[in-house]
Amino acid sequence: TRVVMSKHEAKAAADARKRLKMAEGDEKDLHALAKPLRYESRKQYLEKRKEDKIYELEQQVTIDKQIFDYDELTEKEKLDFDYRQKILENVKKYDQAGNILKQDRYHLPDATKDIPTAYIEEEDIPGGDGRRWEQERMKTATFRAGAKDRIKDDYSDELLLDEQIDFIQTSLMPGADEAPKEPPISAAQKKKMTIDETRKSLPVFAFREEFIQAVKDHQVLIIEGETGSGKTTQLPQYLYEAGFCADKKRIGCTQPRRVAAMSVASRVAEEVGTKLGAVVGYSIRFEDCTSERTAIKYMTDGMLLREFMNEPDLASYSVMMIDEAHERTLHTDILFGLVKDIARFRPDLKLLISSATLDADKFSKFFDNAPIFRIPGRRFPVDIYYTKAPETDYVDAAVISILQIHMTQPLPGDILVFLTGQEEIENIQEALNERIKFLGSRIKELIVLPIYANLPSDMQVKIFEPTPPTARKVVLATNIAETSVTIDGITYVIDPGFVKQNSYDARSGIEQLNVVPIAKAAANQRAGRAGRTGPGKCFRLYTAWCYKHELEDQPTPEIQRTNLGNVVLLLLSIGINDLVHFDFLDPPPKETLIAALEHLYALGALNHKGELTTLGRKMAEFPTDPAMSKMILASDEYGCSEEIITIAAMLSVNASIFYRPKAMAVHADAARKGFWSPVGDHLTLLNVFNRWKETNFSTQWCMESFVQHRTMKRARDIREQLEALLERVEIEAKSTTDTEAIRKAIAAGYFYNLAKLDKGSFKTVKHRHTTQIHPNSSLFEDPPRWVMYYELVMTTKEFMREVIDVDPRWLSKIAPHYYKSNE
Ligand code: ADP
Ligand code: MG
């Protein structure tokens, strides 16, 4: 609520100010603005940390004062309140003494002495003894003393665990009611088990017959079961084995995430004993790995939505499982309404709605009181630790915590860290590997493994490999590991408490991907990951106070915070015209629906009666956003379909195309500038792709040009798909070198995103919103008067990413619905 928002907004603003200040001094460094700061020296780094800390504490204390009436606080809250005041004073005081490092982690001797331990929530700790993290830290202290003299001076701050995070245990997440009587199965033991034995060891196995019977007895079934109990991998198999795939019918299972769809399908293919794509397959955007024979099909929720266009009654399926329903993604939410409708006129279709959390009642009500099938969980207790005071830099705190755990906790016991995205994961991976290298043989082996959406599949399987007994595995994951993917052997969870989430404001038209605090429900899911194979520990990099007062109970469903353009076009194309009365589990804001319809009208996808036009119907064929689909279709008129689908593919890869190793930054920047087009970034992307094509898609060329080969390969795949779709809507492949024609085609899709230079900064035409060209753009240094951007991104401040130089006089012809009236 108010506290969370204001605190983060304030922090973001402060960060932006600081980073801008840094960059002003050195205008030539384009990257300083966009990249996370790389600190020149340890000193500068500490300065920044100190500033941040004071700022954050001040913010919190002021906000506290505004919001809470001290006298009305409970005793515990008062202590917490006083404690934070005290920390602030201490930080300031210590600042003068010049010792930043120590106080930064709240190790001030005078501060800790005065801090009452009473604010540990004793009643939450069964037995009340509260095993203290501090005790375990003693081991590190010994280690430090022993190693100290071997460390060179200039490294001593950075590489040893001088920095520690003070955690405090305040509560314990109880295990499931029926605590398991058998000893837990370790990951190593599991490795020895055959696939068959592993399958039988999963909690769902005991309910196999009951489950099959329930599906036979009821058309719709809500399934609720702890993450890792075997819902996703086992239930479709059980039904397959029980003969639900007779008459060439399929069992479908949707996943909100691409990685999950792929990884689960590959696991199930292995269990069934077939090649992926044969009996078991998957389908995700721009990639179909299924065949005639596929009986169990995993797919993203978005792909199933698209299937409705070709098969409105899902005739080829006998069972459809909407999995991970609790995630409440936009596509899953829309699917609820659609499958509910279909179930009415297809009594032979079985529907399973499965969820890892306690929303089952809500789902049951929505599906006309469908019965709930509960799979009792098998969960061990998890100790919850909080930091004593807020952490300013959770990335840094995560690195320290990982090492702290590794050096103090016994083996086996792997670590799972929840991060917000690929870039953050890569940063941490780099920082960790640096430290591991430095520590060398003084610590046991630590295997660092990432998992995020764009990770190639051969890397994905690595996280499932059992850890050798002498080593520890640390998995750096995005939210995907919260419920979609289960990794065995995790004993420690580190939860910084953030997630990357999109937000959309229909009135301002601003769409953003922001890092926001998670909800309590998500925090508890994350903690639960530590207790799957034995008792575990969860380290939250935020305070108990924060958990209690600042986190929302439940996350907002995506449908209420995202742009609906895509989905509205899709629904219209499958004949659902009355969107206002569509059966939503939770309806989207009306303004968002209206904004989507307006945009589609401006694009020419709808006529004035709100009906789909021929153009709109063609646009719906493309799995891209409406603006991009329009751009692709418009390319026909401008004779540049070849170039436009290349540009569309390059924009769609959604990962960085260039890389910039620190040591070679100068070369990388030069190489990158070699691709620059004077008229804008879309053309730069085109240049990269075309030159790669000229080398016959050479890997070597990518390396020499500081271009990510992996990303390029994906762009090539996407381009092939778009090419096939062009054929389907009967558009000829045409090519041109006229960059004006290409820019006009782009403008035909993105005319909403027009911005005008106005006294040194840009203002968007539609909403008079102030923004700026991203420093990575070729137009950054010498901006034209009018630009059209691909998207707005929020890094250190708001930027337009991928911009082209346009002539506003084009627009009344290119987008008459929209610009005629504005003239
Ligand atoms: P649920 O859907 O109930 O959360 P799953 O069916 O995803 O449970 O997981 C059941 C088991 O299968 C877990 O123990 C998990 O570790 C294992 N598993 C899932 N995917 C893979 C994979 N790709 N490789 C190895 N094991 C996997
Ligand atoms: Mg699952």
Q: Tell me the C-alpha to C-alpha distance, in Å, between residue 197 and each of 228, 236, 237, 461.
A: 16, 18, 15, 20
Q: Which of 767, 755, 742, 759 is nearest to 803 (CA)?
A: 755
- List the strands of the sheet with 317-322, edge to edge: 287-289, 280-284, 296-300, 250-255, 317-322, 350-355, 220-225, 372-375
The reported pLDDT for the residue numbered 797 is 74
566, 558 Cβ separation under 8 angstroms: no
Q: Which of 564, 563, 553, 559 is nearest to 585 (CA)?
A: 559
**What lines the ligand 1 site, CB under 6 Å?**
202, 225, 227-234, 263-264, 266-267, 464, 486, 488
Give the per-residue SS3 of 742-793: HHHHHHHHHHHHEEEEECCEEEECCCCCEEEECCCCCCCCCCCCEEEEEEEE
Q: Which residue, judged by its Cα, is nearest atom 13 of ligand 1?
A: 228
Give residue 811's identity as a one-letter amino acid code.
L
221, 370 Cβ separation under 8 angstroms: yes
- Residue 532 exposure: Cα atoms within 13 Å on the Cβ side: 32
Distance CA 160, CA 151 (A): 9
The token duo for 201 is 């060891």
Distance CA 444, CA 450 (A): 19
The ipTM assigned to this model is 0.98
**Terminus-to-terminus CA distance in the chain, angstroms?**
42
- Residue 732 exposure: Cα atoms within 13 Å on the Cβ side: 6
Q: Where are the alpha helices (DSSP H) in 68-186?
A: 75-97, 100-104, 109-114, 133-147, 153-159
The reported pLDDT for the residue numbered 259 is 87
Q: How far is the CA of 228 from the centre of ligand 1 (A)?
A: 6
The token duo for 39 is 């600190």
Closest ligand to C-alpha of residue 280 is: 1
Kindly tell me the burial class for residue 724, based on how many C-beta atoms sit within 10 Å of its own C-beta (0-12, 13-18, 19 or more): exposed
> Which residue, chain included where needed, has tokens 């029980």?
242
220: left (phi over 0), alpha (psi -120 to 50) or beta: beta
539, 492 Cβ separation under 8 angstroms: yes
**What's the residue count for the chain?**
823
Closest ligand to C-alpha of residue 191 is: 1
Distance CA 363, CA 328 (A): 11
Q: How far is the CA of 227 from the centre of ligand 1 (A)?
A: 9
Q: What atom of ligand 1 comes closest to residue 234's alpha carbon?
A: 6
Q: What atom of ligand 1 comes closest to residue 324's alpha carbon?
A: 2
Closest ligand to C-alpha of residue 223 is: 1
Q: Which residues have CB atoms below 5 A from the ion given as ligand 2?
A: 232
Q: Tell me the C-alpha to C-alpha distance, in Å, between residue 357 and each of 172, 174, 252, 482.
A: 19, 15, 21, 11
51: left (phi over 0), alpha (psi -120 to 50) or beta: alpha
680: left (phi over 0), alpha (psi -120 to 50) or beta: left
The 3-state DSSP composition of the chain as helix, strand, coil percent (nearest 5) reads 50, 15, 35
- My answer on whether omega of the bond before 466 falls inside 30° of 0, hence cis, is no
Q: How many CB atoms lie within 10 A of CB 470?
A: 9
Q: How far is the CA of 355 from the centre of ligand 1 (A)?
A: 15
The reported pLDDT for the residue numbered 410 is 87
Q: Which of 400, 504, 367 is nearest to 49 (CA)?
A: 400
Q: How far is the CA of 179 from the centre of ligand 2 (A)?
A: 22
The reported pLDDT for the residue numbered 195 is 86
Q: How far is the CA of 485 from the centre of ligand 1 (A)?
A: 6
pLDDT in tens, 3-38: 333 455 555 545 544 544 443 333 333 333 322 333
Q: Which of 433, 431, 481, 427 is nearest to 453 (CA)?
A: 481
The token duo for 688 is 């990269």
Q: What atom of ligand 1 comes closest to residue 266's alpha carbon?
A: 23
The reported pLDDT for the residue numbered 684 is 96
Distance CA 471, CA 325 (A): 36
Of 486, 490, 526, best ligand 1 pocket probe by most atoms within 8 Å of the beta carbon: 486
Q: Which residue, judged by its Cα, is nearest atom 25 of ligand 1?
A: 464
Q: How many CB atoms lie within 10 A of CB 537?
A: 26
Q: What atom of ligand 1 comes closest to residue 263's alpha carbon?
A: 23
Q: What atom of ligand 1 comes closest to residue 323's alpha carbon?
A: 2
Q: Cα 134–140–145 angle (5° rounding)?
A: 125
Q: How far is the CA of 499 from the centre of ligand 2 (A)?
A: 19
Q: Is 171 helix (H, G, I), strand (E, B) or coil?
A: strand
The token duo for 801 is 């990413």
Kindly tell me the burial class for residue 379, based on how many C-beta atoms sit within 10 Å of its own C-beta (0-12, 13-18, 19 or more): buried
Does the pTM surpass 0.80? The reply is no
Contacts of 44 (CB under 8 A, 6+ apart): none
- For 548, phi then psi, to 5°, come to -70, -40
Closest ligand to C-alpha of residue 227 is: 1
The token duo for 446 is 């630590």
Distance CA 253, CA 233 (A): 10
Enumerate residue ranges in the chain where pLDDT < 70.
Answer: 1-69, 76-77, 79-164, 170-192, 358, 378, 795-796, 820-823
Q: Which residue, judged by its Cα, is nearest atom 22 of ligand 1?
A: 267
> Which residue, chain included where needed, has tokens 């008079």?
768
363, 222 Cβ separation under 8 angstroms: yes
Of 267, 455, 461, best ligand 1 pocket probe by most atoms within 8 Å of the beta carbon: 267
Q: How far is the CA of 283 from the centre of ligand 2 (A)?
A: 17
Q: How far is the CA of 237 from the centre of ligand 1 (A)?
A: 13
Q: How far is the CA of 369 from the centre of ligand 2 (A)?
A: 23
Q: How far is the CA of 13 from the centre of ligand 1 (A)?
A: 41
DSSP letters along 540-569, please? ESS-HHHHHHHS-SSPPPGGGSS--HHHHH
The reported pLDDT for the residue numbered 171 is 66
Q: What atom of ligand 1 comes closest to residue 229's alpha carbon?
A: 3
Helices vs. strands in the chain: H and E counts, helices first: 34, 22
Closest ligand to C-alpha of residue 525 is: 1
Residue 792: strand pairing partners: 800
The reported pLDDT for the residue numbered 413 is 92
Longest dimension (CA), the chain: 80
Closest ligand to C-alpha of residue 323 is: 2
The token duo for 558 is 């995506």
The reported pLDDT for the residue numbered 55 is 66
Distance CA 569, CA 619 (A): 8
The reported pLDDT for the residue numbered 582 is 92
803, 788 Cβ separation under 8 angstroms: yes
Q: How far is the CA of 652 from the centre of ligand 2 (A)?
A: 27
